[in-house]
Chain A
Amino acid sequence: MWEQRALYVAISPFYILFAVFGLFPIGFSLYLAFHKWDGIGVMTYNGLNNFKYMLTDAEFWQAVGNTFMIWIYATIPMLFFALIIAFLLHAPFVKFRTLFRVGYFLPNVTSIVAVAIIFGALFANNYGFLNYLLQSVGLPVVEWLNAPWGIKVAISSMVVWRWTGYNAVIYLAGLQSIPQTLYEAAKIDGASGIQSFFRITIPMLRPVILFTVITSTIGGMQLFTEPQILVGNDGGAGAAGMTIVLYLYRESFINNYFGYGAAVGWGMFLIIALFSIVNWKLVQGKSS
């Protein structure tokens, strides 16, 4: 009994802070979603109109599509490379492991603003480094930031660059938390390297993989600063870089539809929640 009370105490700080700083904003935004408000003047009741507008707005659906596309472009290579890097670093005979780990994690240290500035210069149409590379091998230059796919590639590559090392460090921590004794026992039982990889490594790594999939889903769905700085509040050419949160931000703070912005926030919350549950089931279910 006493122990359980201690447990509630241990988890309480989060819930207390959430009640104070989370619940009120969430409730407020729910209220706002049914109102029309320019952010400054009086609010007027707007019924379901905000939601109706959202569901019939081509730009909203485009933003949803863009967000998923960019998420896929970014997440698959990111987690794949992260796993490979983690396994390479975990190999027992690797030297300079510290150096490598620091080197790979370093991109995550950079602020998004800085990343967007650097990548803006890498992908620039007329003075960018990538076009220089293309030209020096005899290929035609690409107007990256004037093409919808180019914008998506640029944004995704920022995410990949910044988060691959981060995920690799998480995977490596996961690999290192697997007790060596398990492998030794398997060896004694005559298991091959591949067998112990699938029987021990992958199952033991599952919570960590699940963690990275969930967090990159949540992070990917909330992508905002990268496209905003790279291509501006309207999402660049053909609104190809318009993500859901950028749309929410533009509708609220640029176009002054704070009520509508709140409705978009709720729409987005539902999308992320559904999508995360699907992800969870997929990753969780595969092994059991």
Chain B
Amino acid sequence: MTSKSLKSLVLYIGLIGGMLISMFPFYWLIVMSTRTTSDIYKFPPQLWFGSELWNNVSRVLQQIDFWGAFMNTLFVSGLVTVLVLFFDSLAGFAFAKFEFPGKKWLFVLLLATMMVPSQLSLVPSFVLMATFGWVGSFKALIIPGMVNAFGIFWIRQYATESIPNDLLDAGRIDGCNFFRLYWNVALPILRPAFAFLGAFTFIGVWNDYLWPLIVLTDARKYTLQIALSQLNGLYNTDYAMVIAGTLLAVIPLIVMFLFISRQFISDIAAGAVKD
């Protein structure tokens, strides 16, 4: 009893300590965005909230169309996430649980594509978008991003261990084809992996910067990161505003993540109960 409670004490101290470190930069971000620029530069630093939040935020909102950009980002990120989940899990499941000629080499190729830095293909990719007439359109953000090697790799690693072969064999005996097995057997088991991959994809698209900057031409289609980058003029030193803008871009993501996480946790719990 005592050893168990000692164990759990150590465990909670570790978990809470780590969590505080993990949360501190957020706290710092919020503190800075409630301060004036000159407060931020004080030493010793200001550790508690100030009263400038609304001032800073309203300067941001004056300069950029925050809500328009927010809706654009939501749309693009949401759509890409749904597509990625579908296409990646289909391919990841196939790679994890089935044999077919050329599988090994196809998978190596897939991994190799992850090693090409995206900065390298910036110019040629843009040339391609221009050829297709997609410059300025959301298509340039959505279609090239709707399936990715990373997600396939992740689903494959997850599915390899978590989908029991007996279950697939049983399904086969029942006459299920590949897509039926995917839908009826793999999908329910992969759901925890989905929650993670979905959150990750969503965040990645939400925060993407260089590609949307280059591809989007019309201010009405700007995503949040691009809209915010407009605040950075060449001579801009309104640091408090930049920080408030940063906070504004992070908050929706945190809120949404908290929403997703509820689903994400109940799925895992459901999975545990099944066992």
Contact = CB atoms under 8 A, between A and B. Distances in A.
Interface of A: 2-4, 6-8, 10-11, 13-15, 17-18, 20-22, 24-26, 28-29, 39, 81, 84-85, 88-89, 91, 93-94, 97-98, 100-115, 117-119, 121-122, 126-129, 131-132, 135-136, 161, 164-166, 169-170, 173-174, 176-181, 204, 207-208, 210-211, 214-215, 218, 221-222, 224-225, 244-245, 248-249, 252, 258, 261-262, 265, 268-269, 272-273, 276
A208 B128 contact: no
Given A17-B147, A88-B14, A178 B161 contact: yes
B273 to A, nearest CB: 11
B249 to A, nearest CB: 6
B3 interface: no
A93 B75 CA distance: 40
A107 B265 contact: no
Contacts of A245: 117, 119
B213 to A, nearest CB: 12
Return the 3 tightest CB-CB contacts between A and B, nearest first: A25-B121, A265-B120, A177-B162
Which secondary structure dominates chain A's binding surface? helix
Interface of B: 4, 8, 11, 14-15, 18-19, 21-23, 25-26, 28-29, 32, 40-45, 87-88, 90-91, 93-95, 98, 100-101, 106, 110-121, 123-125, 127-128, 143-144, 146-150, 152-154, 157-158, 160-162, 164, 177-179, 182, 192-193, 196, 199-200, 203, 206-207, 209, 225, 228, 242-243, 246, 249-250, 253-254, 257-258, 261-262, 265, 268, 271-272, 275
A4 B106 CA distance: 14
A91 B119 CA distance: 42
Which secondary structure dominates chain B's binding surface? helix
B137 to A, nearest CB: 15
B112 A273 contact: yes
Contacts of B268: 173, 176
Given A173-B192, A258-B123, A117 B242 contact: yes
B196 A107 contact: no
A208 B155 CA distance: 10
Contact of B11 (A91, A214, A258): A91
Given A26-B116, A118-B28, A109 B253 contact: yes
B115 A218 contact: yes
A107 B25 contact: yes
A114 B95 contact: no
A208 B158 contact: yes
A105 B150 CA distance: 18
Contact of A122 (B23, B25, B127): B25
A111 B123 contact: no
B18 A218 contact: no
A95 B231 CA distance: 43
Contacts of B94: 7, 10-11
Given A4-B101, A11-B90, A132-B45, 7 more contacts: A7-B98, A14-B110, A21-B128, A104-B22, A122-B28, A215-B153, A273-B115
